[in-house]
Structure 1
Amino acid sequence: MAGMRYSLDRVGYDLLAHALHRCGREEFSGQLRVAGAPGGTLHLRAGLVVGAESPGAPGPETLLLRSGRVSGEQWAEVVRESGGERWPATGLVARGHAGAAQLRVVCVMALYDAVFAIVAGRVHGCERVAEAEPFATVAVGETCVRLLQDATRRLAALATLPHPLRPDRERPNPVPGVDHGPLTPLQRALLDQADGRSTARDLAFRTGRGVYTVTVEVARMLADGLLECPEAPVPIPVRPPPDGQGVRQRKPEPAASRTAAPPVSAVPPAVPDELPRRRPGASGIAEALAPERTGASWKGFFRLRNGAPK
């Protein structure tokens, strides 16, 4: 797990921190699009972050649906009644599918989780897009400084674990033949979903939990021997030839055996002044294809056909 030394991209972090500090200082309202892996988008109102989304972290909708708090049918019905609203919090509360306090907690968790995923990855650049009414999932925004401090604190906490890992790198497997003992619901869900191909980020989307929460739990399960990460692929050995010698260089041919190339004439070939002209009838094709001259005519042909020679 030596890769955790590079868990914080200093150049990318400085780019993101500079862009966020500028947005806060200028009380910017709109989108801050972060290009990178996984990257994401931060929504600001008057310099405060009121929403964030990233491919590297589940959003509020995923947290509600995958965790079973709200069913897919209930969500589709509320979205349809709201006219396609991206975050129909009012409809969810009005229909009793979720409480207002519960939605606030879910949105704040998703906000911090998205910023953590952006900071934990690679940041290549930032672009601002002004908007009069930015997309907001939280009523009271968070300061840029607080979000960055929380993301770096989480990365530092991950690095101190006995088995630290990155959210998008290691792919754990359940350890076969191990007595699991009493498990928490999250541990049981991770054991059911871990398959050696899914990262902690993938498991977070499947279980409907925050990517930071899942990453920490996977690291603890690695330390407890419940999960294991596949070893790096063994390099293919390169064997020498049977004679014990390596690849030999081809020896150049002796100078005597080389065929001397014909000398290239410096004088260009003569070009005729006029092209040869074709004489009519020189090939004899006209005589060969000429029809045979006979005394028969078309009238005689029709007489023979009608069977009445005249």
Structure 2
Amino acid sequence: MCETAGGAMSGHEHLAQALAACGRDGFTGELRITGTPGGIFHFGDGRVVAVESPGAPGPEALLLRSGRVSGEQWAGLVRESGGARWPATALIAHGYAGAAQLRVVCALALHDAAFAMAAGRVEECERHATAEPFAQVPLGEPPLRLLQDALRRLAALAALPHPVHPDRERPVRSGTDSGSGALRSELLTHADGRSTARDLAFRVGRGVYTVSVEVARMLDEGLLVCAGPPPPVAVRSLPEGDELRPRRPPPVEQPPAPARTDLPRRKPGNFFRLRNGTPT
């Protein structure tokens, strides 16, 4: 955690200062965020042109889950584009998506990844300058406005009757109600008591914020419930006066001594008499 003259800064303060400095300096490159889930803000001339985080589905995951393009087709587009991380031109040329659709998907993913990082823990922010930024939103977003939008979403989520944190609650369906709407039906299908809102977002191919809000509403309506902690394991106590003692191995029985079989003894002089023919 970064320190100031008055003490340790919070994660949001640390992130806000780092983003503001990148915008003020017209920075081009990566602002790498260490924490949970962490991620990278990509800057071009002081504006955020892409955000990546393991805590939120990126544009690729959103497109693949939507069914617009298959995994095999995506791999072919990447090869055709010379290994480009975001083959936007090839996607448009092959008719998998229009330019306007890609701009919307990239903008949604950018804001959602920023929200996921703001909802988590920020430990360190480190700059890495690059000649060309990884740009999914060419015009970019002002960095502080992007953070303010993420904090506004966090506040809106916390104000719901049953607030949900992306990495906290692990809901499970409460009954047989299939829910109304495609998103609710998918969430009811995948809510298994082990998956958080973030996990569910990856499974259904939607933004983490959108899924967190919907899970909160479904919890409030009783369609989902939060799985409680596992019951404690019952431990039986020993009767009074008894105590645990180290287990001793049973004594090893010694094998009986082998029976003695005496060999016949040779009388002195027998060998000499036999050799020389002397009678006994």
Q: Structure 1 length as normaliser, TM-score? A: 0.72
Counterpart position of 2:17: 18
Residues 1:63 and 2:97 are matched in the alignment: no
- 2:185 aligned with 1:195: no
Deviations 1:165-216 (A, max 9, x none): 110111111112x444x51100011111111111111111111100100010
* Aligned amino acid, residue 192 of structure 1: T
- 1:231-250 matches, within 5 Å, as 231-235=228-232, 242-243=239-240
Matched, 1:157 2:156: yes
Q: Deviations over 1:37-81 (max 9, x none)?
A: 000001001110000000000000000001212222321221121
Determine the C-alpha separation between the residues in 2 that align with 1:157 and 1:232: 27
| RMSD, matched Cα | 1.9
| In structure 2, C-alpha distance between the alignment counterparts of 1:193 and 1:231, rounded to whole Å | 18
The answer to whether structure 1 residue 27 and structure 2 residue 37 are counterparts is: no
Identity %: 65
In the alignment, is residue 215 of structure 1 matched against residue 232 of structure 2?
A: no
- 2: CA distance between counterparts of 1:198 and 1:100? 34
1:94-144 Cα deviation digits (max 9, x unpaired)? 111101000000000000000000010000010000011010101111001
> CA–CA distance in 2 between the matches of 1:22 and 1:108?
22
Q: Based on CA coordinates, which of the two structures has the bigger radius of gyration?
A: 1
Counterpart check, 1:125 vs 2:124: yes
Change (3 A) 1:172 1:185: same
What does the per-residue CA deviation read over 1:229-261, in whole Å, with 9 as the maximum and x for residues that have no partner? 1113345577876559xx9xxxxxxxxxxxxxx
1:16-165 paired onto structure 2 within 5 Å: 16-165=15-164
Alpha-carbon distance in structure 2 between the residues aligned to 1:98 and 1:132: 29
Counterpart residue type for residue 129 of structure 1:
H
Q: In structure 1, what is the Cα distance between the partners aligned to 2:177 and 2:92? A: 43
**Where does 1:265-284 land on structure 2 (aligned, <5 Å)?**
none
Q: Name the SS of the counterpart of 1:188 in structure 2.
A: helix
**Structure 2: which amino acid aligns with 1:15?**
H
* 2: CA distance, partners of 1:225 / 1:155: 22
User: d(CA) in 1 for partners of 2:214 and 2:177?
Assistant: 18
Query: What's the secondary structure of 2:116's corresponding residue?
Result: helix
SS at match of 2:210: helix
> 2:10 is paired with a residue of what secondary structure?
helix
Structure 2: segments with no counterpart, 5+ residues: 1-8, 244-280
- SS for the counterpart of 1:123 is strand
Alpha-carbon distance between aligned partners in 1 of 2:71 and 2:39, rounded to the nearest angstrom? 25
Secondary structure of 1:49's partner?
A: strand
Q: TM-score, normalised by structure 2?
A: 0.79
Alignment partner, residue 257 of structure 2: none
63-72 vs 213-222, which moves further: 63-72
